Structure 1
């Protein structure tokens, strides 16, 4: 309904009438069919209980763009394009997306208001009181709009000492099958979460046998926090359930690779069109500052740990890099030219990496690629260091806008930088990328920690 309404409003704005002609009705019908296909392919018709609005809007935007991309191909094949107003299509695209976002936002707000008053709230019983349950309880208490309420727990021999937040949970008894069955018969419960070690298979199976008699949702809440998780997620391959313990954004979300690639290419092309005079001026300055090539090419590890050659404007005198020694640039480094010092201080030496982005080996935003020697050195000293390579390296990153850029003379500084890199991979969104790009202009350019 929203899609059709947006099309009619756009038609009214373009042609000053509410009734589309037969040809435009065919276009609306065709696009509506593609909307059903795209909205089904993207996870828009699943329950978004407990998921963020911004994330839903990004998926919606990609699906809506896919609708018009499919229609564009269709129009090209049947030669329909010359009979359809592009102004109308553009108005429909923009207005339709705004209407879809508005409708979902209003629906969410209505549901959130109902859930905050206790309506449409699913009651949850937990079996076992361990670290994941504490985290879930804390989250649900802060976010009543999720619509889930843990009403109590059944004790198990693996329980931890309740914290202040979780002490509000009433104990409903011990995790004996007969006690669980009695409680479910006397109370209304929509979900049961089992938080017990997978090694206790016999106890879990006995509980599941009881739960077979009740048509309620059953979830397993494993304690995996000490496994070095990164974007953990459950899925099914064939008929086998699988838990992904570590994965990058490309594997985590089916829209990640599309959104990230589009963002990279658009920003890189726009930057190249705007900055080409500056690139030319810097190239001339590098050539005049000292003998040698304009660009410095160095092997770095990218996505999946694969090697690529990263480009920079040369900022040092030509020298032979040692094969074993790990040596970063330092304050007053004699290898750096005067013009090179200016480039490094202002981060202008990084601009040629726009070509890396266009070539697909880098992104605009991502963990900064370290020299291959540095990777070999630090992967032995810092836990989960190589997880940085689950995504493409970036020209700028979350660590850089938080002050971790340039020389890292202490191991703890590099550890902090890696923590920010992994945090970026976990939290990735288009909004976060835009935020980092803006912050780069204000915080990184001219930062004094780069030599």
Structure 2
């Protein structure tokens, strides 16, 4: 008999339900647009419809529109659907322009189709949302859940359960054998409902529908014993990964033949996601370089005529997977340090030129990095690249520091728009920057990149901590 995989990919018929009604909404919207504006169906419209459908479904999967549907916020689900629809229609217009069949499409008809699709995608989700919410308020379709282990990851899980009504969960309590003083500090205000054995007994009695095991991974024998006892119950059992694995590191199940492996140090931006991010970088950087080319020429001339030295300063940095790259910047100092020891710029630093001070405060010195993005060394959004000397220093001091190199360095990033930009004169500042960088890598999505780019326009270029 062949060995089967230990882990199976999770699936949900409800997710397929959402996919079906999304496709039905697009088709219905097209038929309504045809009825309202009398669109003459042709080969061009067949190509347009096929392009929109495929791109919409691909984009929806990319932004996880159908993942964990029960836990999804209604607003988030709607925004994911609308964002995917906008991408689909934008791509369709791009294809029609490239292959020169825009004249065969009615702009008014397509606009009606787009607007009706927006409405239908919203309406059917609203109807389902209200139906399920009302059923749960009536006490129907609720599931009793409990957590074994008053640990840090249990506290995080409890927070998610209480703030997401869409889950349809009724929390029954924490179960732990340890004394109150040994449980996680933030759960001290919650009275433990009973021992672990009482949770098992409640499961046998049918009082618990879902039981989460939030014990440390080192308690392997204890977990095995609990699972053995739960084997004669009908309760749904879920193992919660150790807080360190689930919160700090991106993890996924991989397979080598029939052997399952758990990757913990791996970028989520692989495969199709890598293609999407690279496409995003090429399109955005090309447009920006085209728009700012006069500004680049002006700044280059200003740097050349106000101080001696090269216009562009190319500094060694670590790129994707820790490989060295040359990051381009307009020179803002009288020196070009690129050695094993690099002194960070500080307030009133004598090495900074007068023009350089303006460029650094407004981040204009970093504009040549859009060329790095076009070359493929960097990304529009990602962890900011540090000097090699700083990397070697902080990798010894900050846990998981080098994991930030599992994504391409970016011109802007999650840490920057949250205020962690500029001089890192204390270890705490660098730890916070790394914390935000790891959050970005773990939760990367196209929508998150768009959000960061949008926020950068308003608050990411200028910062009081940039010297």
TM-score normalised according to structure 2 size? 0.76
Moved more, 142-151 or 420-429: 420-429
**1:135 paired to 2:152:** no
Could you list the per-position Cα deviations for residues 385-424 of structure 1 after superposition, in whole angstroms to 9, with x for gaps in the alignment? Answer: 2222122212123333344333333333333333333343
Maintained 8 Å contact 2:152/2:243: no
Alignment of 1:138-153 (within 5 A): 138-153=159-174
Could you list the per-position Cα deviations for residues 349-386 of structure 1 after superposition, in whole angstroms to 9, with x for gaps in the alignment? Answer: 11111111222222222221111111112211222222
Alignment of 1:72-151 (within 5 A): 85=106, 88-89=109-110, 92-93=113-114, 95-96=116-117, 99-151=120-172
Instruction: Give the Cα–Cα distance (whole angstroms) in 2 for the partners of residues 243 and 24 of structure 1.
Output: 46
Could you list the per-position Cα deviations for residues 247-301 of structure 1 after superposition, in whole angstroms to 9, with x for gaps in the alignment? Answer: 43415xx764355334433332332232221111112112222343321111111
Could you list the per-position Cα deviations for residues 279-325 of structure 1 after superposition, in whole angstroms to 9, with x for gaps in the alignment? Answer: 111121122223433211111112221211111112233x4636332
Alignment of 1:148-167 (within 5 A): 148-156=169-177, 160-161=182-183
Could you list the per-position Cα deviations for residues 162-192 of structure 1 after superposition, in whole angstroms to 9, with x for gaps in the alignment? Answer: 767676566355428xx83x53453254322
**Selected match of 2:253 from 231, 235, 242:** 235
**1:412 paired to 2:428:** yes
Unaligned runs of 5+ in 2: 1-23
Aligned to 1:257: 274
| Cα 1:163–1:448 shift into 2, 3 Å | closer
Instruction: Give the Cα–Cα distance (whole angstroms) in 2 for the partners of residues 270 and 96 of structure 1.
Output: 29
Aligned to 1:308: 325
Equivalent residue of 1:250, what SS? Answer: coil
Aligned to 1:372: 388
| Cα 1:108–1:276 shift into 2, 3 Å | farther
Instruction: Give the Cα–Cα distance (whole angstroms) in 1 for the partners of residues 79 and 249 of structure 2.
Output: 18
Instruction: Give the Cα–Cα distance (whole angstroms) in 1 for the partners of residues 402 and 91 of structure 2.
Output: 39
Aligned to 1:273: 290
Unaligned runs of 5+ in 1: none
- The offset of 1:6, in angstroms, is 1.4
Instruction: Give the Cα–Cα distance (whole angstroms) in 2 for the partners of residues 239 and 323 of structure 1.
Output: 48
Moved more, 419-428 or 352-361: 419-428
Moved more, 297-306 or 108-117: 108-117
Aligned to 2:210: 191
- The offset of 1:50, in angstroms, is 1.7
Aligned to 1:220: 239
- How many correspondences in the alignment? 441
| Cα 1:399–1:10 shift into 2, 3 Å | same
Equivalent residue of 1:408, what SS? Answer: coil
| Cα 1:35–1:396 shift into 2, 3 Å | closer
**Selected match of 2:364 from 348, 352, 357:** 348
Maintained 8 Å contact 1:34/1:71: no
**Selected match of 2:401 from 364, 385, 410:** 385
**1:323 paired to 2:339:** yes
Moved more, 297-306 or 160-169: 160-169
| Cα 1:324–1:222 shift into 2, 3 Å | closer
Instruction: Give the Cα–Cα distance (whole angstroms) in 1 for the partners of residues 96 and 41 of structure 2.
Output: 17
Instruction: Give the Cα–Cα distance (whole angstroms) in 2 for the partners of residues 367 and 447 of structure 1.
Output: 17
Instruction: Give the Cα–Cα distance (whole angstroms) in 2 for the partners of residues 79 and 404 of structure 1.
Output: 46
Aligned to 1:2: 25
**1:360 paired to 2:376:** yes
Aligned to 2:355: 339
Equivalent residue of 2:248, what SS? Answer: coil
